[in-house]
């Protein structure tokens, strides 16, 4: 069976991390990712920050990798901890996994699925759930730009459309747009799949996540 990022995220959240509420609507501690995307190339870097609502305290950044190892930033040979932020440099596929924040009282943030790809193409898609009605643009990113940037975009294994500029915009997402997306280019190959999560208009969102989404618009 193919081990997709979505399958990994659900298996980790629901089996290994028994105390992590993957679908909590308003967690007391929030996680943000910069750059705010779910896929990265080898040797890229990103940062994760924790913020606890109503408190000056933050939280600890933790992760579970595809090898099933759960550990904390700065204390297990990965990441550099500065305050409540974790900086992860020189990424490799071994950094692929589920990341989240944990407060001092043991509460958890939403979990995000990060994929590090050793290939030539990644999909730049939102790492956090997007609001229903929001415009979302998916980009096909390349290690080395192809002579023809035309990219095909797929959802749940089926072709959505082909775009000459290498990016696809959904003007106003609905919950039916949620799914596994990937892109491919005839010269450079294809990206891994990433899950695009869409929240309905009536779903309560935590403030930090709302702020992060707003900065992407």
The CA distance from 14 to 73, in Å, is 22
Model pLDDT, residue 216: 40
169: left (phi over 0), alpha (psi -120 to 50) or beta: beta
CATH number of 121-199: 2.60.40.10
Q: What is the pLDDT of residue 217?
A: 41
Q: What is the pLDDT of residue 28?
A: 80
Phi-psi region of 54 (alpha: psi -120 to 50; beta: other; left: phi over 0): left
Strand ranges of the sheet holding 29-34, from the earlier edge strand across to the other edge: 29-34, 46-52, 85-88, 80-82
pLDDT one digit per residue (tens) for the chain, 217 residues: 333 444 444 444 433 333 333 434 456 888 999 999 999 999 999 999 998 876 666 688 999 998 888 899 998 789 999 988 999 999 999 999 999 999 888 889 989 999 999 999 999 999 999 999 999 999 999 999 999 999 999 999 999 999 999 999 999 999 999 999 999 999 999 999 999 999 998 655 444 444 443 444 4
Give the per-residue pLDDT at 206: 46
Domain ranges of the chain: 5-118, 121-199
- We find that the CATH architecture of domain 5-118 is Sandwich (2.60)
Alpha carbons 186 and 146: distance in angstroms, whole number: 9
Nearest one of 215, 12, 217, 214 to 112, comparing CA atoms? 12
pLDDT in the model for residue 3: 36
Same fold, 5-118 and 121-199: yes
First to last CA, the chain: 37
What does the pLDDT read at residue 7?
43
The dihedral sign for the CA sequence 209, 210, 212, 217 = positive
């Amino acid at each position: 069976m193919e081990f997709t990022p979505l399958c990994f995220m659900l298996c980790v959240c629901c089996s290994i991390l028994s105390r992590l509420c993957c679908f909590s609507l308003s967690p007391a501690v929030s996680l943000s990712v910069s750059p705010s995307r779910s896929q990265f190339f080898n040797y890229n870097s990103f940062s994760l920050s924790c913020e606890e609502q109503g408190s000056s305290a933050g939280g600890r950044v933790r992760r579970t990798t595809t090898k099933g190892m759960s550990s904390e930033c700065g204390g297990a040979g990965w990441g550099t901890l500065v305050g409540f932020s974790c900086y992860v440099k020189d990424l490799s596929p071994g950094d692929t996994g589920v990341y989240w924040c944990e407060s001092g009282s043991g509460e958890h943030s939403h979990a995000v699925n990060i994929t590090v790809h050793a290939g030539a193409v990644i999909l730049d898609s939102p790492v956090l759930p997007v609001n229903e009605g929001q415009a979302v643009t998916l980009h096909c990113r390349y290690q080395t730009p192809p002579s023809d940037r035309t990219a095909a975009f797929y959802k749940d294994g089926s072709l959505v459309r082909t775009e000459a500029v290498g990016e696809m915009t959904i003007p106003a997402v609905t919950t039916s747009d949620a799914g596994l997306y990937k892109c491919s280019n005839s010269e450079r190959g294809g990206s891994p799949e990433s899950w695009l999560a869409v929240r309905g208009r009536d779903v309560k969102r935590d403030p930090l996540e709302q702020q992060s989404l707003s900065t992407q618009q």
